[in-house]
Amino acid sequence: MYIFKVVKLRWLTHIAFWLSLSVLYTLVRMAFAAPSDMEYDVATRFFRYWLIEGALLPFKAAPFYLLFYYLIPRYLPSKNTVGIISGLVFIIFMCVVVIRWLTPHVSMAMYGDYPEFNTFSPGRMLYSFTEMIPGFSLASAIKLIKQWTENQKKSTLLQQEKLNAELQYLKSQTNPHFLFNTLNNLYGLSRKNSEHTAPAIMKLSHLFRYMLDECREPFIPIVKEIELIKSYLELESLRYGDRLHLESNFNVSDHTVPITPLILLPFVENAFKHGASESVNDVFIKINLMASPEKIKFQIINSIGNLSPNVKNLGIGLKNIKRQLQLVYPDKHELNIESSTDEYHVTLIILPTSPNTLKRSAMYLNQDLHITTDSL
């Protein structure tokens, strides 16, 4: 039923176009009417000319339909341009011949006698040809613009699907690493028979519930991302105890500011990986997050463990984060990473996506973005 309605609407649009064009042709004829026609009133002249146009209109429209619905589908796949051009020239010539043949018969029906001039003279043939060109050109231009617009939409859709597939691939690379690291933390607590093992399992359960449920949307309110980071900090604090000096500040003016899920957590995880886990001394981690509808600014500073490798090397995790930022926030983010002999600085600035863009993104990026570090 839907297809029938679409086809019906399309044909009604075509009919309306050609009828409108016939009215335009009729008005042009009236503007250049012969003196013998001026004896009729305006309504009669319009009706007569419009009947003439109605009789000739199918042959003025025929080249357009035969070109786009016969010649191009048949010869374009084989790139036979000569076949298309020669076929179009032949069709136009035959339509002009038919129009010139019909002209005296239409004149007889309208005026009661045949015209005295030679209907197939070169001048009359050229006149009918030039009459055909405006309607053919206008219809062809509309058709080509419509096809170009549809191709652009298809190209955009294919590009979005490609980006979606790439994000899914990045997710499949990074998620197992996060699970592996977290289970290792639980294993270390259980080996010590720590009283923090059960609370840590509950925190881990909360993290994975977030990943499975909350992160299915391409964008979420930033307050949910903050809750995730706090849960992760509590989980790690249970593991390191007093050896960890942790400072965190979350200054959010609007909790509904949209952000893509799990884009900040990898940097927090990396701070523990190259700070607390690789140092036998006391370590510190400072986290500062400021968020408003205009800008999200995330900063994290952590001490570098004495066993830490060169953190300037771009591991898989950092490459994945950078790529995902490029995909989700093209030209709307800035990431700066600096390191010294004893500290590691990360500053990420994101310009939140507008609500309209969120709706369009949700059409193509309806997925959960699970991000974590591998070897930064």
**What are the residue boundaries of the structural domains of the chain, listed by start?**
2-120, 157-364
DSSP state of 218: S
pLDDT at 312: 46
Do the beta carbons of residue 168 and residue 371 sit within 8 Å? Answer: no
Query: What pLDDT sits at residue 7?
Result: 59
Rounded to whole angstroms, what are the CA distances from 84 to 65, 81, 92, 210? 13, 5, 12, 59
Percent of the chain with pLDDT over 90: 19
Q: Give strand ranges (E) for 80-239.
A: 220-221
**Distance between CA 113 and CA 218 in Å, rounded?**
75
Q: How confident is the model at residue 104 (pLDDT cuts 50, 70, 90)?
A: confident
Q: Give pLDDT, residue 63.
A: 92
Contact between residue 228 and residue 207 where contact means Cβ atoms under 8 Å apart:
yes
SS (H, E, C) 258-318: EECCCCCHHHHHHHHHHHHCCCCCCEEEEEEEEECCCCEEEEEEEECCCCCCCCCCCCHHH
Whole-angstrom Cα distance, residue 198 to residue 204?
10
Phi and psi at 81, nearest 5°, equal -65, -35
Rounded-to-integer distance, Cα 317 and Cα 344, Å: 16
Q: Given the DSSP bridges, would you call strands 258-259 and 296-303 parallel, antiparallel or unpaired?
A: unpaired
Q: Rounded distance, CA 275 to CA 323, Å?
A: 24
| pLDDT at residue 270, as a whole number | 81
| Nearest Cα to Cα of residue 59 among 20, 105, 12, 94 | 94
Read off the amino acid at residue 145. Answer: I
So what's the pLDDT on residue 123? 87
- Residues 185-204, mean pLDDT to the nearest whole number: 74
pLDDT digits (tens, 9 = 90+) for 250-292: 999 998 999 988 888 888 888 887 765 555 566 889 999 999 9
Mean pLDDT, range 21-29, rounded to an integer: 84
pLDDT in tens, 76-93: 888 898 989 999 999 999
Across 56-65, 113-122, 322-331, the highest mean pLDDT is recorded for 56-65
CATH number of 157-364: 3.30.565.10
Q: Which range has the worst mean pLDDT, 119-133, 207-221, 229-243, 244-258? A: 207-221
For the segment 360-372, what is each residue's pLDDT rounded down to a tens digit?
A: 444 444 443 333 3
Which pLDDT score, from 0 to 100, does residue 6 have? 55
- Environment class of residue 121 by beta-carbon count within 10 Å: exposed (0-12), middle (13-18) or buried (19+)? exposed
Q: What is the pLDDT of residue 375?
A: 31
Residue 226 confidence (pLDDT): 92
